[in-house]
Every structure is written in C-alpha cells, then in structure tokens.
A = this chain, B = another copy of it.
Amino acid sequence: MSFDIVIHNGRLITVNSKFDIIDNGIICVKDTKIEKITKSESAKPLPIAKLSIDAKGGLILPGLVNTHTHLPMTLFRGLADDLALDEWLNNYIFPAEKRYINKDSVRLGSLLGCAEMLSFGITTCCDGYFIEDEVANAVLNAGLRAVLGHGVIDFPAPGITDPKDNIKYANKFIEKWIDRSPLITPSIFCHSPYTCSSETLKRAKRIAAEKGLIFQIHAAETRQEMEGIKARHGVTPIAYLDKLDVLDKNTLLVHTLWIDDNDINIITRKKANVSHNPESNMKLASGILPLVELLDAGIVVGLGTDGSASNNNLNLFETMNVTSKIHKVKNLNPTLIDAAMVLKMATIDGARALGLDNKIGSLEPGKQADIIIIDTRQPHLVPLYNPVSHLIYAARGSDVKDVLVAGKIVVRNKKLLTIDIGNLQDTVNLMADKIDVTLP
C-alpha cells in the first residue's frame, strides 16, 4: 500500500488515551486521514509515499484546538488596552464594530487570524461572531478546520439591524453551512445570558439541538454579570441557563469564572463543556477560573485564546504556558495542572468540548491528519529531557515548522502556503489606517 504523505524522524506525542510517546515514530497519511502509526526500524525502508516529510528530530503532535475566537476582531488587535472593561467595550470595541465591521473587514480580519493560528500550530478553532458567512469563507481559504457560530444578541449587531431577526440569520447560516464542507461545522453563538433574553436563549438552543450542533455562550465572565443575573433572575448565570434548559453535552460555556459549587454540580450533571481563556481573563482582569475544581468534577475543559482585541494574539502555546502557571500560583501548589494535563486541554479535550474527538485531537489511525511539527533545534529548546514539558514551558508558536490539516500541507518550513500573507498584511494595514481610534 502506498501513502500520500509519510512523516518520519521525529518523536510522536500522540495524546491518545495512553498518552503514548513514540521515539523515532512514523505517521502515514492517506487522503485526509492518519492511516498508520508505527516506529521506525533502521533495517526497514520508509513506507512508500508520494511525499515524505523529515521532522528532523523534532516533535510531532496533533494540531492544537482553539476553543474560543472572534476572528474578525483580529482587525482590532491592540486598538485599546489597559482600560476598564466598560470603557474598553463601550468607548472602543462596540463603536469600532459599529463603524468598521462589514463583509470586507470580516473576511480580511478572519483571514489574518487564520494565518496567525496556522503559523502557530492551531488547526481547529471554534469561532463566534457576526457576518459569519465571511468567516467561513476565510477559514476555507486558509485551510483550517472550524466550528463556526453565527452570533445571536438582542441588540443591533453587524449585519443585523433588527435584533428580532437574530435567530433567523443564525438559522440561515446553519442551513447554508451544514454538510457543505468537511472542514466546517456550523454552530450557534449566543453572546451571553445578559445580552440575550430567556426567549432568545431557548429558541437558539432549540435550533442548535435539533441538528446536534454546538451552542456556544459566554457565561459568568465577570463579577458584574454574575451579580446582575442574580439580581434579575435570583440565581447565578449557570443556574439561570440551567433553568432555561440550555445546558447539555453540546453546550460550550465560555469563561465561567464566577461560579460556585452548585454551578459546578450543574455543569457536571448536564455534561456541558467549558472553554478556558486565561490570557483574556487576566488581561481584562475578569478573574481566574476554578480550573482544578472543574477538572476534579470531571468536566471537560478546552483552551481558547479569545479574540485578538483582548489577548492580543492567537497563540495557544502562550495560553498553554500561562494556564499551567496561573493555576499553580493561584493554588500555591506547583504539582497541579501539569504539562501533560495542559497539552490534553489544548488538543483532545478541546476536541471533546467541540464534539469532534472522534475526528481530531490526537494522533491515532482513523483520525483526521491534523498534524503539527515542532522544530526543536533552537537554543531555547536545548537540551530536551521531557518533550511534554518543553511543549508547555519552553516552546512557542513560532517553533511550529510544518502544519497539516486533513492531510493537506498548509504550513511548510514556517511558510504559510494557503494565503499570500504579505499582500494580506498590506491590505489589513491600509484598512486599519482608516480606523479612527479616538472614538467619542
């Protein structure tokens, strides 16, 4: 049997259920899938393939899964920082969205975000925004895998003048993109329990549930939100969402910082999943997720970068590093949230949170060939005693050398093959030059 691509001369970090690490491993790819994983034997020649990729002693691992993005906001990276949340949102982000978000800017911002993610080894993202059609086109152009949720909010939003139409737009997006591309899974992104009415939340969840799709929602992000929902509905945001019956295994709760023991019980019982975005939570000073408690309860937690306006990059290596460190120091216990745990969160658990763990998140025969190779021949990765420790504590996004999505090479020797990145950067810079940051 001949393969399309054989990757060899590297150490495979499989992230399979046994967390196997295979020195001098070989991955054989056929069409979109991993067909075979084996160990190189010096006597045997390499399996026959159309193309062989030499990992040059580097680390080979499943592509990273970024469970929370707002790709078009890449356009607003660094537009406003170090501000109180209210000021940041009301004086900068919301007005900037109102004035500058349109089909063109959504497409360009998303393309730029995809370019960054692929370069940094992210092969799957879960996005929520508006004019999501153009996000989907950008994702397909770039060659990424994505769960894409059209935004639902009870306010006028980009592309939706009358909020009464919000569910209609979201539904239209689902109908257009369901079964259209193996790389794209549509979804619904309800903004939050404080910006959507009970009725909106229930209707949106019903539509997602009918087709078994992911229902994404920001929940319990800030103390203000938690207190506001308590004042209005008498219960915490999580208990409120549970009362509306929108929590189940296809619900992705984003942030969930301000939760209590009862909330953790609810999330556990309903098998809802959590997207943890520590860099955004830290930069916006929202709070710190009770991650240890969630994991102890058996809740699936994936990692996310959040949008570029609040991070300010889409680099999951950085997020992995910070995740381990922030929870160690929060708990004053250096043994917690170890490197292997964090790597799982960024791969297989992220895939689980998106309902895609049968397809991606680990290197196993039968799974999609979403694979990244890390170049370890660099001063900051020498010596190498433990490859998993290196991935979390020493490596960075810029160490990613090659990236495959569904068996297709999208980054080769640190060069992105799917997008003319020079041209895209010039176009985005021209667009950004016109963005007036002295907003009223």
Report which A residues bind B (CB closer than 8 A): 75, 77-79, 81-85, 88, 112, 115-116, 119-120, 223, 279, 281-288, 308, 311-315, 318, 321-322, 324-326, 328-329, 331-336, 338-339, 377, 379-380, 382-386, 389-390, 393-394, 396-399, 416, 421-422, 424-425, 428-429, 431-432, 435, 437
Contact = CB atoms under 8 A, between A and B. Distances in A.
Given A339-B81, A380-B120, A334 B389 contact: no
B379 A421 contact: yes
Contacts of A120: 380
14 contacts: A77-B382, A79-B385, A82-B339, A88-B334, A284-B328, A285-B332, A285-B336, A287-B332, A311-B393, A313-B394, A322-B322, A380-B397, A383-B428, A384-B429
A328 B397 contact: no
A284 to B, nearest CB: 5
A89 to B, nearest CB: 11
Contact of A282 (B283, B328, B335, B385): B328
Given A379-B421, A393-B311, A398-B396, A281 B329 contact: yes
Nearest 4 Cβ contacts at the A-B interface:
A383-B432, A282-B325, A82-B338, A398-B398
Contacts of A115: 379
A384 B435 CA distance: 11
A393 B75 CA distance: 15
B393 A396 contact: no
Given A120-B380, A326-B282, A328-B282, A393 B335 contact: no
Q: Which of A308, A390, A393 has the largest number of chain B CB atoms within 10 A?
A: A393
A263 to B, nearest CB: 19
Contacts of A399: 398
B283 A84 contact: no
A175 to B, nearest CB: 32
Contact of A397 (B84, B315, B396): B396
Contacts of A284: 328, 334
Contact of A84 (B77, B335, B422): B335
Given A313-B380, A382-B112, A393-B312, A334 B78 contact: no
Nearest to A337: B82
Contacts of A338: 81-82
A139 to B, nearest CB: 15
A396 B315 CA distance: 10
A329 B428 CA distance: 31
Contacts of A322: 322, 325
Contacts of A385: 77-79, 432, 435, 437
Contacts of A281: 329
A117 to B, nearest CB: 9
Contacts of A116: 379-380
A311 B437 CA distance: 37
A84 B331 CA distance: 12
B380 A328 contact: no
A324 B310 CA distance: 13
Contacts of A279: 325
A430 to B, nearest CB: 9
A290 to B, nearest CB: 14
Nearest to A281: B329
A112 B379 contact: yes
B331 A285 contact: yes
A285 B85 CA distance: 28
A421 B378 CA distance: 8
A336 B322 CA distance: 19
Q: Which of A288, A335, A382 has the largest number of chain B CB atoms within 10 A?
A: A382
A235 B134 CA distance: 64
Contacts of A119: 379-380
A358 to B, nearest CB: 30
B383 A75 contact: yes
Contacts of A325: 279, 282-283, 322
Contacts of A339: 81-82
A414 B144 CA distance: 29
